[in-house]
Amino acid sequence: MTAAVTYEHIKTCKQTGARLGIVHTPHGSFETPAFMPVGTQATVKTMSPEELKAMNAGIILSNTYHLWLRPGNDVIKEAGGLHKFMNWDRPILTDSGGFQVFSLSEFRNIKEEGVHFRNHMNGDKLFLSPEKAMQIQNDLGSDIMMAFDECPPFPATHEYMKASVERTSRWAERCLEAHARKADQGLFGIIQGGEYEDLRKQSAQDLVSLDFPGYAIGGLSVGEPKDVMNRALEFTTPLMPANKPRYLMGVGSPDSLIDGAIRGIDMFDCVLPTRIARNGTLMTSTGRLNIKNAAFKRDFGPIDEKCDCYTCKNYSRAYVHHLIRADETFGIRLTSYHNLQFLLNLMEQVRQAIREDRLGDFREEFFEAYGFNKP
């Protein structure tokens, strides 16, 4: 069968290592570098599919762990799959659930066959394995599935990380066998290895030899310092096939998106925009601001002069300040809309800078305006 998910390279920026591309999936294509809004429980919090399309979201993410526990992958399968269930006809990527087990539930116990843990909502004993994670994602019908991996905490000893990488590689083989390419879905391998160059190389070699249609860098954005992340990217990205999508999991903030793209990453996800929106924190072209601040009570200008989003075109800082202070749901919708549009616009500016071979210059301009300290 033809590969369900393919990468089309358009060009590489002459000033940096960033690349412009297109990822093709059964539910359509999206340009890269791309920011992928996170919709953990089958919704990008407070946003409708129409609004996500209006802001040019090309692909969204959802979660195996959460949807398995509630409403159940069987329910979503019976509904005709996740696209139909949530009325989203563009690409969907689902994570495999391992990461969520480690970040959400206690009493977990990792064995060769899989992970035993307790349901973080009711304490029931549960078991998740490579085979189970593939079956759930198959039921959801996502266009891009992630292999079942272990994302060790940061920091981890070299000894622990080596054993974990070797198990994750064995789990990746089991995912491929379980998937058996029966579904028209792409399966990405996840490279682990933490901050250790030799283990990143071992993980990459193991997974590249299994010929996945795409690859992710896991094990980062788990509390490590930015320079540890950037160094890991520098020696891991070159190990990944140039003709396949490269996804950096859990990243990230505006500066990390730009620095990741410069190091050859194509796909990013982050819960940040909708998570910080809920407490009124907004990303703007001149840095972050918290709209609850008293300074905005009588500020009748837009959130961000340079933003053309629905919120900035129709509402003032004073109005959003009022709604968030009054704990009005519409306020969270307006701040979420703006933050998502901000990151989606940022990635369009990154793609344009690659087209013009000036992503290095763009990085300087953006860091200056946003207030990021110099490298």
What secondary structure does DSSP assign to 12-55, as a single string? E-SSSS-EEEEEEETTEEEEESEEEEB-TTSS-TT--HHHHHHT
CA angle 69, 126, 251 (to 5 degrees): 60
Q: Which stretch binds ligand NEZ (CB under 6 A): 70-78, 96-104, 118-126, 295-303?
A: 96-104
- 250 lines the binding site for ligand NEZ (CB under 6 A): yes
| Residue with Cβ nearer Zn ion (191 or 309) | 309
Q: Starting at the earlier edge strand, list the strands of the sheet with 115-118.
A: 109-110, 115-118, 125-128
To the nearest whole angstrom, how small is the minimum distance from the Cβ of residue 57 to ligand NEZ? 13
| Residue with Cβ nearer ligand NEZ (149 or 304) | 149
Report what 312 binds from Zn ion, ligand NEZ, none; CB cut-off 5-8 Å by kind. Zn ion
- 95 lines the binding site for ligand NEZ (CB under 6 A): yes
What share of residues in the chain are helix, strand, coil (percent, to 5)? 40, 20, 40
Considering only 33, 189, 193, 219, the residue that binds ligand NEZ (CB under 6 A) is: 219
Q: Give me the residue whose beta carbon is nearest to ligand NEZ.
A: 250
Report what 151 binds from Zn ion, ligand NEZ, none; CB cut-off 5-8 Å by kind. ligand NEZ
95 is catalytic: yes
Q: Three-state DSSP class for 92?
A: strand
Considering only 139, 149, 206, 266, the residue that binds ligand NEZ (CB under 6 A) is: 149
82 contacts 27 by C-beta, under 8 angstroms: no
Q: Which of 143, 266, 269, 304 is catalytic?
A: 269
- Least Cα distance to 16 among 296, 359, 269, 265 occurs for 359
- 200 lines the binding site for Zn ion (CB under 5 A): no
- 144 lines the binding site for Zn ion (CB under 5 A): no
Report what 25 binds from Zn ion, ligand NEZ, none; CB cut-off 5-8 Å by kind. none
Report what 63 binds from Zn ion, ligand NEZ, none; CB cut-off 5-8 Å by kind. ligand NEZ
Tokens of 226: 């930015």
- 291 lines the binding site for Zn ion (CB under 5 A): no
Dump strand ranges (E) for the chain. 6-12, 19-25, 28-32, 34-37, 60-63, 92-95, 109-110, 115-118, 125-128, 144-146, 186-191, 214-217, 246-248, 267-270, 281-284, 287-290
Q: Three-state DSSP class for 146?
A: strand
- Least Cα distance to 363 among 263, 267, 213 occurs for 263
138 contacts 187 by C-beta, under 8 angstroms: no
Q: Which stretch binds ligand NEZ (CB under 6 A): 21-29, 48-56, 92-100, 281-289?
A: 92-100
Indicate the burial class of 157 (C-beta count within 10 angstroms; 0-12, 13-18, 19 or more). Answer: exposed
- 307 lines the binding site for Zn ion (CB under 5 A): yes
CA distance 171 to 369: 44
Considering only 13, 128, 140, 190, the residue that binds ligand NEZ (CB under 6 A) is: 190
To the nearest whole angstrom, how small is the minimum distance from the Cβ of residue 348 to ligand NEZ? 22
Q: Which stretch binds ligand NEZ (CB under 6 A): 58-66, 175-183, 293-301, 363-371?
A: 58-66
Q: Which stretch binds ligand NEZ (CB under 6 A): 94-102, 179-187, 224-232, 352-360?
A: 94-102
| Residue with Cβ nearer ligand NEZ (71 or 360) | 71
CA distance 361 to 229: 22
To the nearest whole angstrom, how small is the minimum distance from the Cβ of residue 190 to ligand NEZ? 5
124 is catalytic: no
To the nearest whole angstrom, how small is the minimum distance from the Cβ of residue 126 to ligand NEZ? 17
Positions marked catalytic: 95, 269
By the criterion CB under 6 A, which residues form the site for ligand NEZ? 38, 40, 61-63, 95-96, 98-99, 146, 149, 151, 190, 218-222, 249-250, 269
